[in-house]
Amino acid sequence: DTAVSQTPKYLVTQMGNDKSIKCEQNLGHDTMYWYKQDSKKFLKIMFSYNNKELIINETVPNRFSPKSPDKAHLNLHINSLELGDSAVYFCASSQGVVGGEKLFFGSGTQLSVL
Amino acid sequence: GESVGLHLPTLSVQEGDNSIINCAYSNSASDYFIWYKQESGKGPQFIIDIRSNMDKRQGQRVTVLLNKTVKHLSLQIAATQPGDSAVYFCADANDYKLSFGAGTTVTVRA
């Protein structure tokens, strides 16, 4: 059983399209996150939600909109995709709000914008 | 900006030797630090963590050392194995988020 699962694993699309990435965790955690990993492997937080409430929104273009229908799911919708959005996107979860909590990561969604 | 960084982007180690991966952080208010391992095509996996009230913590074949005076932490891997080949990240926690360093790619030579 995968603890944090995200779909799809690969996403290839044209500039200007709208796409979504889904994430689900079965760990019973209260907090979920989206991270972006660039081509140099640098991981940067985008959003975090705690019990469906937005906690962190890190200087992300408003073309990116997270949605948390319940605390086990955090989806990421991206409008008007740009070349610079190409990256690997990781979903993660933690028991509580980070301050001494380890994160559990999904296996990533590799987004390629052509 | 990022609060953590790693000294070296790559590390080549002979199988069986010990590996040391270093990380410097800048936020003196950080009180929790974590090391992650990321294998190719996978998400980061937790290795070991340490709180700021400790200076050393040991796990299975791994040890994390924290030096708050110089804001430095390190990950030591004993008897490095081929399966240890991966990218290693340090991260620190503050403001309700984990901030990651740039990563060190460890390659184990047979």
**What is the arithmetic mean of pLDDT over B40-65?**
96
3-state secondary structure chain A: CCCEEEECCEEEECCCCCEEEEEEECCCCCEEEEEEECCCCCEEEEEEEECCEEEEECCCCCCEEEEEEECCEEEEEECCCCHHHCEEEEEEEECCCCCCCCCEECCCEEEEEC
Residues contacting B26, CB < 8 A, separation 6+:
B3, B4, B5, B71
Give the model's confidence band at B45: pLDDT under 50 very low, under 70 low, under 90 confident, else very high.
Answer: very high
Q: What is the pLDDT of residues B81-98, one digit of tens each?
A: 999 999 999 999 877 788
Say if the Cβ atoms of B38 and A102 lie within 8 Å: no
Contact status of B81 with chain A (Cβ, < 8 Å): no
Residues contacting A94, CB < 8 A, separation 6+:
A29, A30, A31, A33, A101, A102, A103, A104
User: Which of B53, B97, B100 to probe by mutation at the A interface, max A CB count within 10 Å?
Assistant: B97
**Residue among A58, A98, A107 minimizing CB distance to B43:** A107
**Residue among B36, B45, B96 minimizing CB distance to A56:** B96
User: Would you call B86 helix, strand, or coil by DSSP?
Assistant: strand
Do B26 and B18 form a contact (C-beta atoms < 8 A)? no
| pLDDT of res. B105 | 95
Residue A91 to residue A45: CA distance in whole angstroms: 10
Supply A34's token pair: 């989206």
Shortest distance between the Cα of A42 and any Cα of chain B, in A, equals 5
- pLDDT tops 90 at residue B37: yes
Q: Which parts of B1-110 are beta strand (E)?
A: 4-6, 10-14, 19-25, 32-38, 45-51, 56-58, 62-67, 72-77, 86-94, 97-100, 104-109
**What is the arithmetic mean of pLDDT over B38-67?**
96
| pLDDT of res. B7 | 65
Higher pLDDT residue, A102 or A13? A13
- pLDDT tops 50 at residue A19: yes
Please state, in angstroms and as integers, the Cα–Cα distance from residue B100 to each residue in A18, A67, A107, B33, following that order.
28, 24, 17, 10
For chain B, give the mean pLDDT. 91
Alpha-carbon dihedral sign for residues A62, B38, A9, A93: negative
Q: What is the pLDDT of residues A21-66, one digit of tens each?
A: 999 999 999 999 999 999 999 999 999 998 888 888 887 899 999 9
- pLDDT tops 50 at residue B2: no
Higher pLDDT residue, A10 or A98? A10
In chain B, what residues touch A103 (CB-CB under 8 Å)? Answer: 34, 44, 46, 98
**What is the arithmetic mean of pLDDT over A94-112?**
88
- pLDDT tops 70 at residue B4: no
Contact status of B89 with chain A (Cβ, < 8 Å): yes
